[in-house]
């Protein structure tokens, strides 16, 4: 597989995973808090953390039969996106307009 394709796939999967996590988080905390217009600011930390009140809310939701939001999917998306971005920038080559690499245009003696 081409490395450029791999980096684009990783970046796409990372972004998609983060979007799915955001949607799941918003749906879950809107249901749990009953908020109609906006989520409480305390719920924002539950996007990336499962400690404290986030754990309590997830536990109560699990007891009532609701599948609670899990921030692991958010972190998986962040990691995959980060790997894709790092690969994209680390594998970038300087290419001249005629598609030759820079060292190919140096005259040989």
Letter string b/e over residues 35-58, b meaning 16 or more CB atoms within 10 A of that residue's CB: eeeebeeebeebbeeeeeebeebb
Helical (H) or strand (E) element with 79: helix 72-90
84 closest CA partner among 6, 21, 2, 22? 6
Measured in degrees and rounded to the nearest 5, phi and psi for residue 36 equal -95, -35
Q: Residue 78 corresponds to which tokens in the numbers above? A: 């962040």
Per-residue pLDDT tens digits for 49-105: 888 888 888 888 888 888 889 999 999 999 999 999 999 888 876 444 555 555 555
Enter the pTM of the model.
0.74
Q: Are 32 and 61 in contact (CB under 8 A)?
A: yes
pLDDT digits (tens, 9 = 90+) for 7-51: 999 999 999 999 999 999 888 888 877 765 556 667 788 889 888
């Amino acid at each position: 597989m081409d490395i450029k394709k791999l980096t684009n796939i990783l970046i796409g999967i990372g972004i998609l995973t983060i979007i799915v996590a955001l949607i799941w988080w918003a749906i879950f905390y809107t249901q749990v808090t009953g908020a109609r217009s906006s989520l409480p600011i305390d719920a924002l930390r539950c996007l990336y953390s499962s400690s404290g009140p986030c754990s309590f809310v997830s536990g109560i939701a699990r007891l009532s039969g609701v599948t609670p939001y899990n921030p692991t999917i958010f972190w998986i998306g962040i990691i995959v996106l980060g790997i894709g971005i790092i690969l994209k920038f680390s594998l970038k080559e300087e290419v001249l307009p005629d598609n030759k690499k820079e060292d190919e245009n140096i005259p040989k003696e």
